[in-house]
Amino acid sequence: MALSDKDLINEYLQGNSLAFEELIYRYDRFVLITALQFCGNENDAKDIYQDVFIRVINGLPKFKFQSEFSTWLYRITVNVCLTHSSKVKTKKEEYLSSIDNEDDENNLSEIFIADDGEYSPELNAENSDISEKIGDAINYLSPKERMCFILKHYSGYKIREISKMMKCKDGTIKKYLFNGIRKLRHQLKKYDFA
């Protein structure tokens, strides 16, 4: 009989690191897929993955089992994705302010696409036009709209569950979702996709 998450956590805290690996293997695909969908970039997704599980390692000794381990993990994943997104934004702004005025716009856009961890679905999404366009369109959403859409549409969570993960009210989540879907459809119409 497979050990429960609680058993595995207790085993891990008593020194069995294989128990931790088994625990990770149960849920890490979700973490990675969510990160990939969120940032559309393999390297950033791996960073997020690492960051999530390092936080889990640090947090496990204090974990009181007041919620399911999976719920806690998903909440961390959402937080790390959103934090990562704001870090990318700050990095971009810092870079913009430090850039020499003589640099022309073309150079700037090239640098951002290559280096700043912005959404770049062309690196990972399946090699189809439509997939890339959807990836591009998702990029137009704000981080919270993007996260709501991913959790609802791709992961199939209930609005109530998403509101707990993102620590918002149900109404706020609905607003993000409505706006997100509206923007996505609008964007895709531009591509003559819809």
Partner 1 sequence: MNHEKYKQWMILENYNELSEKHVIELREHLDVCENCRKEFLSLNNDLEKFSKEFKFKNEDRILNEARKDLRQLIVEKKYTAVSKKRDNGLFSFIFQPKLRLAFGGVAIFFLGFILSFLLLNNSNENPLLPENNVKNISYLNEDGMRLNNIHFVYTDNNTGDIRVTFEAVKPVTVMGNIKDKNIQNILMYSMLEEKNPGTRLNTINFIKNESNNTIDEEVKQTIITVVKYDKNPGVRMEALKLLNSFQLSKDVKDALIYVVMNDDNSAMRIGAINKLAEATNNGLLLHNKDKYQLKRKLTLDNNNYVKLRVKKVLEGN
Binding site for partner 1 (CB under 8 A): 1-2, 12-18, 20-22, 24-25, 28-29, 32-33, 36-37, 42, 45-46, 49-50, 53-54, 57, 124-128, 130-131, 134-135, 138, 152-154, 158-159, 174, 177-178, 181, 184-185, 188, 193-194
Considering the complex, what minimum distance in angstroms separates the CB of residue 147 from partner 1? 15
Considering the complex, what minimum distance in angstroms separates the CB of residue 154 from partner 1? 8
Smaller CB distance to partner 1: residue 87 or 182? Answer: 182
In contact, 117 and 41? CB cutoff 8 Å: yes
Smaller CB distance to partner 1: residue 55 or 75? Answer: 55
Smaller CB distance to partner 1: residue 88 or 134? Answer: 134
Q: What is the largest CA-CA distance in the chain?
A: 66
Q: Could you give the C-alpha distances from 103 to 43, 71, 89, 94, 95, in angstroms and in order?
A: 27, 47, 20, 15, 12
Considering the complex, what minimum distance in angstroms separates the CB of residue 148 from partner 1? 11
Cα 44 from Cα 23, distance rounded (Å):
23
| DSSP classification of residue 4 | P
Q: First and final CA of the chain: distance in angstroms?
A: 48
Smaller CB distance to partner 1: residue 111 or 132? Answer: 132
Amino acid sitting at position 122: E
Smaller CB distance to partner 1: residue 16 or 70? Answer: 16
Cα 176 from Cα 172, distance rounded (Å):
6
In contact, 123 and 106? CB cutoff 8 Å: no
Considering the complex, what minimum distance in angstroms separates the CB of residue 105 from partner 1? 30
Considering the complex, what minimum distance in angstroms separates the CB of residue 106 from partner 1? 29
- Residues belonging to the chain: 194
